[in-house]
A and B are shown apart, each in its own frame.
Chain A
Amino acid sequence: MELLRSEHTFERGFRQLMSQYRERLYWHIRRMVLVHEDADDVLQNTFIKVYKGVLQFEGKSKLYTWLYRIATNEAISHLQNKARHASDSIDDAAGMLSNRLQADEWFDGDEIQIKLQKAIAELPEKQRIVFNLRYYEEMPYEEMSSLLATSTGALKASFHHAVKKVEAVFRAL
């Protein structure tokens, strides 16, 4: 953050910031949008937003919490736009996501893994974020609590519901 405060060292500082968080943010985004091309778009837009707003970041939360929020919002906006544009030809957002996942050259999962992704995509938006953060990123509830501004108890309950729902949907597919 020190490097970001001077015009002369800003670029170096921003490159360091990207280097430090790019993989974590990428996988956070990829679990939500599933397709690499979309994840790339969302991640770049996330860093552009961070670039434009990083000097306004007041440090009230941890830097990565702020970055995760921006990335999450970008991913949600992206999914909503995709769902809006695809609503005429495809029945549901989850179906659209799994279809795109199967067409993604950077995905080589089998049928079980495709079904699992489709079941996760059926979850409500916030429950899906909680599930991904816990199941894939193994984020502790305390950390998740500051990220999502939700109590740890509510997050545990949300994760438990999500796990049960994913398994149920998977079995039904």
Chain B
Amino acid sequence: MSKKETLKEELESLSPFLQQQKQRRESMHVPADYFDQLEDAVFSKLESEGALRPAMTARHGGVLRSLWKPRMWAAAAAVAVIAVASWWMLRPQPLSPVPDAMYTETLTEDEIEEYVIDNITEFDSEQLASIAPEPELSETTNTTPNETPDSKALDDISPAEMENLLQQMSEEELESLL
């Protein structure tokens, strides 16, 4: 006995009315192509929920579409900020922020000296030595304290030359020498 026949017998014994109703045509219907479109509808819903499996996300164009999601942009911005910050921190530092040649072009010796005196605590001894005027630098050489370059030069000239020099000098220059 088939499934249908079994049910028919069962219903006839329980309720002939319900058995009779069962013979009537179906009153519930489904839109045309509903079942054909169902699969795509389910996949669209899965995609909108972000529940598609990774292999399918790529196939459904999800990678391109996901680029428009704010989450992706936030992640990209964070990566960019980290990259720029890393480059900034790790870039090679120049020994002097301004080339030495520029000092000589834009600053006079007096201006440099004034700046150094005003900011003397900012410099260590090596830096001070490197920017000191030449006569002062010569003090660190092996000359004796009483032996200045001027006096040494005067020793080397002959008495005749000395006489000649003295005659050429004005009275004020002579006074300053004495």
Contact = CB atoms under 8 A, between A and B. Distances in A.
Nearest to B27: A109
Contact of A164 (B14, B21, B49, B55): B14
Contacts of A43: 38
Given A11-B59, A113-B24, A167-B17, A48 B7 contact: no
Interface string A27-58: 00010001010001001100110011000000
A167 B18 contact: yes
A166 interface: yes
A91 interface: no
A68 B45 CA distance: 21
B120 to A, nearest CB: 72
Interface stretch (A78-86, A134-142, A146-154): A134-142
B15 interface: yes
A116 B41 contact: no
Size bin of chain B's contact surface: 20 to 34
A164 B15 contact: yes
Interface residues of A, number: 39
Contacts of B21: 112-113, 116
A100 interface: no
Nearest to A113: B27
Contacts of A51: 42, 46, 51
Contacts of B71: none
A30 to B, nearest CB: 6
Interface in B1-52: 3-4, 6-7, 10-11, 14-15, 17-18, 21-22, 24, 27-31, 34-35, 38-39, 41-43, 45-46, 49, 51
Interface string B50-88: 010111100100000000000000000000000000000
Interface in A129-173: 134-135, 138, 140, 159-160, 163-164, 166-167, 170
Contacts of B4: 138
A108 to B, nearest CB: 6
A152 to B, nearest CB: 13
Given A36-B31, A51-B42, A109-B27, A167 B15 contact: yes
Given A106-B30, A113-B21, 6 more contacts: A34-B28, A44-B45, A48-B51, A109-B28, A164-B15, A167-B18
The 5 closest A-B pairs by CB, nearest first: A109-B27, A7-B55, A163-B14, A113-B27, A47-B42
Interface of B: 3-4, 6-7, 10-11, 14-15, 17-18, 21-22, 24, 27-31, 34-35, 38-39, 41-43, 45-46, 49, 51, 53-56, 59
